[in-house]
Amino acid sequence: MHVQLLTRTKAFCGCVNQYGGDPNTHCCPTCLGLPGALPVLNRQAVEYAVLAAKAIGCEIRERSIFSRKNYFYPDSPKGYQISQFDKPIAENGHLFVPGPNGEPKRIGITRLHMEEDAGKSVHDGFADSINKTYIDLNRCGTPLVEIVSEPDLRSADEVFDYLTKLKEILLYTGVSDCNMEEGSLRCDANVSVMLKGATEYGTKAEVKNVNSFRYIRSAVEYEIERQIGVIEDGGRVQQESRLWNNAEGRTYSMRSKEKAHDYRYFPEPDLPPLVVGPDWQRSILAQMPELPEARRARMIAAYDISEQDAMTLTATRAFADQFEDAAKQAKNPRRVANLILSELTSRLRLADLEQDQSPVSMAGIVMAADLLESGDLSSKMLKQLLDTAFANSEDFPAVYEREKPQQISDSSAIEGMIDEVIAANDNQVEQYRKGKRTVAAFFVGQVMRASKGQANPALLNELVTKKLDALGPL
């Protein structure tokens, strides 16, 4: 996985690190590899690399080396890429994904190393794109980390789960926006198959630069079946790079794959060794946020919610922060969680809105939770107010102040309505007195209708039972 780091400037120069812009405007002599231009390492890129590495359980190498990885593409003007080879900044990490039996399965992470991105070849969008390629070097020099997993993944579903978890962790640390559409996150899948009982992996083929986890799952599924078919037909799998064509649902050959020694790695002569000593590591790790799994475990205990509910509340770090800030302000934090998980989430889904597009703010949820807690609103009244808020794209406080429904908690007023309902429904009264106690719900519903949903539900249930029991059995 290649991850663009969210630094303000590029890896080895002061050019802005920003997606888009007019072609070839975010460039300088260092980006372009012009004679006499020297690289200077971005300190924040190092700190983000260390943060990402520790978040996925890697060991940090105090002294790492930058190397030149030599190859030529038109969008790489230097003719080499500054990367790390035999002494990367981090190694030996791991993540856990759901295994075949539901138990956590450990996926090893070989290394996380730093490097710079290449530019971009543009193959369409121009009148003569059919026979010309255009080059945009704005992306040249963007700081990357490359994260390489061990060959522990055994299915396309495990690949999907691994990538999803890795992306979630990276987003929580804030080192990248992980925007796959903009190329902030790009994945290469090395796929090989082996005969049952074999001791060595088969020849691998690399599926490059797939820009969606869903597509990667499909590409891996296809590539497994393709390689099995090649072997069963008596052929040999070729080591090569392949591209995924989503429209056709297949991979196709791009080029034969070079081996590591073809890149002629050697230490970058213009950069000294990178030393990340204990003091610097401690200051970097002080910025580490609470990671998703730890946060979910704490929230399950703190708010008495299910694991699935915790997954919803921690979908993003920003949303989890908003929820916990709201929970601290409310009279009953559990009510805030319940309102988000039931009332808010269901309405967002129906309106096809993301959490950050909700017309009802967290402050509105806190207000609603406190009104429920104090008994000033019934759940039915709250549902109606939330429906209005979503229908009008208004926040809850504005709707409440305008509608101002008042819950009736005066026992004498509720008793009067109960008496009227009992007097008008002799058949149901007789059923209750003969022992059919579930009929009480009928009287509760009738009074709720008469009160336009404003009767205090707890008090109403209590008074209905009391009134009906006072009539005695038949």
DSSP state of 257: P
Quote the mean pLDDT of the chain: 92
In 166-246 the beta strands, taken as DSSP E runs, fall at 185-191, 205-210, 240-245
Distance in angstroms (rounded) separating the CA atoms of residues 39 and 271: 7
Three-state DSSP at 315 gives coil
pLDDT tens track for 218-272: 999 999 999 999 999 999 999 999 999 989 999 999 877 655 457 899 999 999 9
Better-predicted residue by pLDDT, 145 or 308: 145
Classify the phi-psi angles of 393: left when phi > 0, otherwise alpha if psi is within -120 to 50, otherwise beta: left
Cβ atoms of 121 and 135 within 8 Å: the answer is yes
Q: What is the mean pLDDT of residues 305-320?
A: 91
What is the model's pLDDT at position 355? Answer: 86
- Domains, the chain, ordered by start: 2-180+262-280 (no CATH), 192-258 (no CATH), 290-403 (no CATH), 411-471 (1.10.10.410)
Number of Cβ atoms within 10 Å of the Cβ of 95:
23
Q: Predicted confidence band at 415 (pLDDT cuts at 50, 70, 90)?
A: confident
Cβ atoms of 389 and 347 within 8 Å: the answer is no
Cβ atoms of 443 and 415 within 8 Å: the answer is no
- Tell me, rounded to whole angstroms, the distance of Cα 376 from its chain centroid: 37
Distance in angstroms (rounded) separating the CA atoms of residues 39 and 41: 6
Consecutive H or E run containing 106: strand 104-116
Q: Predicted confidence band at 146 (pLDDT cuts at 50, 70, 90)?
A: very high
What is the model's pLDDT at position 113? Answer: 98
DSSP state of 435: T
Cβ atoms of 167 and 185 within 8 Å: the answer is yes
DSSP string, 406-434: --B--HHHHHHHHHHHHHT-HHHHHHHHT
Q: What is the mean pLDDT of residues 359-374?
A: 94
pTM beyond 0.85: the answer is: no
CB within 8 Å of 370: residues ≥ 6 apart: 330, 331, 332
Residue 71 to residues 10, 83, 266: CA-CA distances in angstroms?
21, 12, 13
Residue 406 has pLDDT above 70, yes or no: no
Residue 408 has pLDDT above 90, yes or no: no
Distance in angstroms (rounded) separating the CA atoms of residues 6 and 474: 76
Residue 173 has pLDDT above 70, yes or no: yes
Cβ atoms of 105 and 158 within 8 Å: the answer is yes
